Structure 1
Amino acid sequence: MKVIASIDDAMRLVGHELGVSSWKEIDQARIDTFADVTEDHQWIHVDADRAASDSPYGATVAHGFLLLSLIPKLSKDNYVVQNAKMGVNYGLNKVRFIAAVTAGSRIRIRSELIDAAKVADNVVNLTVRHTIEIDGSDKPAAVADLIARYVF
């Protein structure tokens, strides 16, 4: 796990891997709960019988936005920003969903700091590329460039 304790630390870490999280299972209960919260009950996510017969994946799959929502939690294994007065999500530059995550699969996050843009003397935008890997797959589930703004 990398520690970013200042804007200077962030600048030095640009281009470096920050870490790889532990594995997390994406079970059907989590997918169903996410469907309930977002009101997205498309059959490919919640109907195991239909997904087994009609889906090219042979099983239900996690919502792409479910995967994105797990980035903050899983990336805590990879790096920590210390000494900041606050940090907020600033946005996403690019997101690609590459491979489906079927129910029961395990994912993890690989994080790389790709940019640290100083906004003011005490403010920096960190752009971290998060690659969501699937256990046993050569292809990642997704790649997302997430921007977080920190005030030191």
Structure 2
Amino acid sequence: MSRLLIRSHEDFEKYVGQKLGVSEYHTVTQEQINKFADATLDYQWIHTDPERAKAEGAFGSTIAHGYLTLSLLPLMWEQVVQVENFSMLVNYGIESFKFGQPVLVNSKIRTHVWLKSVTNLRGISKVQLQVSMEIEGNKKPAFDGQIVFLYHFNK
């Protein structure tokens, strides 16, 4: 999969309003869900108890934490765009975000990315992305929303 190469604020400006691409598929496993539960101390049974989720849950299996799917955005972003020539990247914001569909264990997910805007903040590039996480075989996305990164490009 070829990635778009960005090396400056001006490179980002060329793509405002355009779809930048789509990430590779990632399979969400029960092991990954359990490790996320360990990291966040969120052990709700719909995530971590496959037998109970199958017997009592609304989805027939465990589901990934919504924030687990959100935490995969940096990985998927890097599969879409290769950003170089910067000294620092800061996660700046999450805006207008909605979880629309649960991600069942062993689902394959990928993220579509559009560049909504790029703003020069006294030499720092504020990059606003529209993101939509697709679940293979589902019409409705796992989530839709906007994320904002700050790139400190080298001069």
TM over 0.5: yes
Superposition misfits of 4+ residues, deviation over 4 angstroms? none
Residue 148 of structure 1 corresponds to: 149
- Offset of residue 33 of structure 1: 0.7
Distance in 2 (alpha carbons) for counterparts of 1:2 and 1:116: 16
The answer to whether residue 38 in structure 2 is matched with residue 36 in structure 1 is yes
Question: Hey, what does 2:71 align to over in structure 1?
Answer: 69
Partner residue of 2:139?
138
Structure 1 residue 18, shift from structure 2 partner: 1.1
Q: CA deviation at 1:67?
A: 0.4
Question: Larger deviation: 31-40 or 5-14?
Answer: 5-14
Once the 2 structures are TM-superposed, how far is the Cα of residue 85 of structure 1 from its aligned partner? 2.2
1:85 counterpart SS class: strand
Quick one: percent identity of the two aligned structures? 36
Deviations 1:68-117 (A, max 9, x none): 11100111110122222221111111211000000011101111111111
Report the equivalent of 1:23: 25
Equivalent position of 2:130 in the other structure: 129
Which residue in the other structure is 1:92 paired with?
94
* Aligned residue identity for 1:41: Y
Normalising by structure 2, we get a TM-score of 0.93
SS of match in other structure, 2:17: coil
User: Which SS does the other structure have where 2:141 is aligned?
Assistant: coil
User: Structure 2: where are the runs of 5+ without partners?
Assistant: none
* Residue 125 of structure 1, CA deviation: 0.3
For structure 1, the residue ranges without an aligned partner over 5 or more in a row are none
Cα RMSD (Å) of the superposition? 1.0
Q: Distance between the aligned counterparts of 1:36 and 1:150, measured in 2?
A: 31
